[in-house]
A and B are shown apart, each in its own frame.
Chain A
């Protein structure tokens, strides 16, 4: 029975973290968590190794959080923790890469002994400072930074910490609510785990945890061993803030391990698009995991054979006090370059490059609008997506987040939340890169203020100057654009004012195509024409 029991425990852990994520999503206050799923949840063994993670959630959080729990344990060794303790941080280097992400870690005790930890991360819309955006020069400008601390001590809320948090953010209700919701989802996970341990008559999780990690690691190693050894390189230039950023990747397959090295990539940016190494590791390893052993659950074992390095001081291994608020803009591009390497080792698996970076403008009122406008204060952070790259044997997905796991927010919800009118939001014909398989389409979004008042946009967009490249003869996707309708082009990064009466237009990038357009199936071409997609 014990052989099947171990498997049943594993299944149970996967179910528990899924529930944990659902609880977080349903109770969250931040729109981006509750509507978009910008969160992660997982269970860890007593050494801080991840045993299971929710598939609900987004890879940047998940894989970064996987490393984060060890840092919590370094600060608060398990022997010093007690039932009812809840730990918290939003430190970019100890958590998931920028101040907006709060990670909460909760130890679970059975018969007075610690048996596991639950961790959850969610994106809180505002953490003070300049607000979410890439314009800061140092992390100190980007908002409140909470080192790893106890939020609850033996069940008692640290009121000083909570008051400090709510005093430093623009939307204290959301911040406070989300810290409670993170705490609640971990507590629910812990209760479920204790019940599972009773059901399976387990005093500790270490043995079955080790088996889960060993089994996953060895399956992942088998997978890698099947690939040809070698060093595969890929370069990719992206827009950056004020100047292009070079991402240089060499992926080495040696026996049963993969080493990814970003040596040769650009140095630090003066602005907040720098990426801490935990976030670089998260997205680089996701690039591998979405094609290699993607049926092996994500945990410390399946991640272990993949090693990611970026030189100290490079834009992909930014150290404090670098500004990192918009680290996702570059981080989400990393799977494209990793897949570009893997395509050489395993032909016919990797998709073409896609829009990759989500387009999530922060839109808010201008503090002094002038005129006779009501100028009601508002701030929203809607998510729009471009097209994914064409797959090896299929078209790309239009207006779909990849690699990010987030969802978009409905137009009607955005318009209820902010005095804006989204005049247009539909496919952008012709934006998918041509090829045997076409890249996914981007979209065109037009937004005006309901009263014609001026408003502010903070941008963290990519692929305006450097479109998604096709693969194996496929064309590039259309580059993105952001401009004032009938007026000037705007930069892809940073803050601008949309003048009174004007309409803001965003055109998200299309994905690259795969294979030569001459080989495209005629029926597929006819379907695209009939639908007006070309």
Chain B
């Protein structure tokens, strides 16, 4: 099998993994923000050299990136206009007309990506059935052209009311502007997100339009440079939904890439779950600023269709820009190693969401951080080896950690007698409880149980806190995979080629019409095949879902729609509803609002782990004593080490508390179990 190359561009680092026949080779290089392809090429050259192979050995490149997300957060996208229905210019800004925080008078609502002066209206109107009430005059569209040219507009989003029901007017705008402005990108809301609810649809379309020129340029540039370097193989992009798509699709719908990095992490955890036959898993990806939690059942991560980019107010729901795209459903909270700890005036310890980030970072880094962070608390608790942190490249300053925890936490929390160790312990308890609470709420929201799952922990800070969180969630096992520091890129290697298509087509089960269902499925299948077909190998499989609710309800639930009959849909709905809400409502009719079809190329079942012989060396024979540290590569095979002990490696430390024992499995995973 040819070598496979995975590249994950994050905010700080670009991770590159080359999977060769006998071992994975990884590297981490700094992200080069001005020309992201620069960093990628440096990393690619490094792994090829280390692997002792050359460019033409690479059979496929898999790529995920936060560039689109960063452009949205930093508002660095294209000059974008929204062409919309006359009389409805402000949909994008009026949003839900609500405050996401009741008790703070000074909140600001998210700024729309397209300012009012660039929201242009034309006379046209469809009704909810997709019938034309006011025809669109192409002359009205042509009249917009001089203005767009004069303003130097690079990208156009088109969103009309009820365009999901009939996109004809949006198509007309595309035809007219496409001819008049050949260099501008055009995004149709009815293509990106053909679903009812105009604000979310327009928001998604504008976000796509906003990042489209940038992403298109970047992807073309990267492909050219890889080609020039000799990497001429197929090139696939990781999407936020956890599947791979072609570069052409990614250039058309770059909004589908926004959460690709975190999705890669979830896919990694899902693949480990599948390999080890762990039916129920919760993954925890805890870095410097946030923690992301994902539920994985039977090797499949939870998926959904809604996401908010840039929750700028304490990660609060509603404080970001909504986008409706297929996503691996994760909950993200402001809990990371750099999260700041303080005591509020009620005497409560608060951790996050403010973060010291990586610069200046925690006080113990000695880079100018002056406030207590979770990592400082971990240092006070003696969970990290000050001399071996980050592979020994950063010597942790224990006194600095002790000082800030004393000043910021112990003093205000416990008065003069405040004990620094107790305060640090309380900080860790609070942040662990925050993560456990988020996991619990997330599970409840999706009608899932959290108990009896295996916790898979990766990202720099997760293995430090995982056992305590597992304790709070009553979980018996924690798994820390090897190379957890480049988990997302490793995850890309495990992702299938796939593409999800959505259609809003109303169907009431009491008036079920088989031909409507057959037509919508055939239509979606054709669209998905056009995307997946050219890049997929082997057989294709389908996942069909219906978004259903009782007639009169407001929110739909995702229901497996493999049995496409009224009875099949009804029983699938009953099962899904009962699982979510615990009780069916007797005698009510059920309706379907939207349908999705996901087309997957047969997964190749690639192992995420390298061969076990390379996963670690077995050089040590000495069993560690209690309350000690041990290097991960020195863990003895077979006999478990008993907590309390800290297992140290370059990117992270796994804390094994009293009551847990740890061993290494044949894949190089460290597995913690509650002692019998």
Contact = CB atoms under 8 A, between A and B. Distances in A.
Interface stretch (B83-91, B395-403, B458-466): B83-91
Nearest to A349: B105
Given A7-B349, A446-B87, A177 B444 contact: no
A367 interface: no
Interface in B319-351: 344-349
B429 A407 contact: no
Contacts of B161: 411-412
Given A19-B441, A219-B346, A408-B94, A533 B116 contact: yes
A34 B440 CA distance: 22
Interface string B189-201: 0000000111100
Given A173-B588, A187-B582, A416-B128, A394 B106 contact: yes
Interface in B582-600: 582-583, 585, 588
Contact of B98 (A8, A29, A401): A401
B430 A8 contact: yes
Nearest to B94: A399
Contact of B101 (A31, A55, A413, A424): A55
A171 B550 CA distance: 14
A28 B585 CA distance: 12
Interface string B75-96: 0000000000001111101101
B437 A410 contact: no
A412 B196 contact: yes
Given A180-B583, A385-B97, A394-B106, A426 B550 contact: no
Nearest to B164: A412
B433 A184 contact: no
A8 B429 contact: yes
A170 B238 CA distance: 51
A4 B101 contact: no
B88 A29 contact: no
Nearest to A394: B106
Nearest to B200: A410
Interface string B447-459: 0000000000000
Interface stretch (A202-210, A240-248, A290-298): A290-298
B437 A11 contact: yes
B349 A398 contact: no
A55 B102 contact: yes
B444 A408 contact: no
Contacts of A12: 433, 437
Nearest to B121: A426
A531 interface: yes
B106 A29 contact: no
Contacts of A298: 103
B102 A7 contact: no
Given A407-B97, A416-B196, A19 B444 contact: yes
A531 B116 contact: yes
Interface in A75-100: none
A531 B99 CA distance: 22
A416 B130 CA distance: 11
B88 A426 contact: yes
A358 B7 CA distance: 51
B388 interface: no
Interface string B87-131: 111110110111101111110110000011100000001011000
Contacts of B91: 411, 425-426
Interface string A437-464: 0000001001000100000000000000
Nearest to B442: A19
Given A15-B437, A180-B585, A35 B98 contact: no
Contacts of B98: 37, 400-401, 405-408
A380 to B, nearest CB: 12
B445 interface: yes
Nearest to B584: A180
B622 interface: no
Contacts of B349: 4, 7
Contact of A405 (B102, B127, B348): B102
Contact of B97 (A294, A408, A446): A408
B128 A415 contact: yes
A22 interface: yes
Interface string B267-278: 000000000000
A412 to B, nearest CB: 5
A59 interface: yes
A425 B88 contact: yes
A480 to B, nearest CB: 15
Given A10-B348, A412-B128, A533-B116, A59 B581 contact: no
Given A8-B429, A533-B116, A400 B99 contact: yes
Interface string B145-169: 0000000000000000110000000
A194 interface: no
A426 B90 contact: yes
Interface string A518-534: 00000000000011110
Q: Nearest 3 CB-CB pairs, A to B? A: A34-B554, A424-B87, A408-B97
Given A19-B444, A55-B103, 6 more contacts: A34-B553, A37-B98, A55-B101, A174-B552, A187-B582, A443-B90
18 contacts: A11-B434, A15-B440, A25-B555, A27-B553, A34-B555, A57-B102, A173-B588, A176-B585, A180-B583, A187-B582, A188-B444, A290-B104, A411-B161, A416-B196, A423-B125, A427-B94, A443-B94, A450-B127
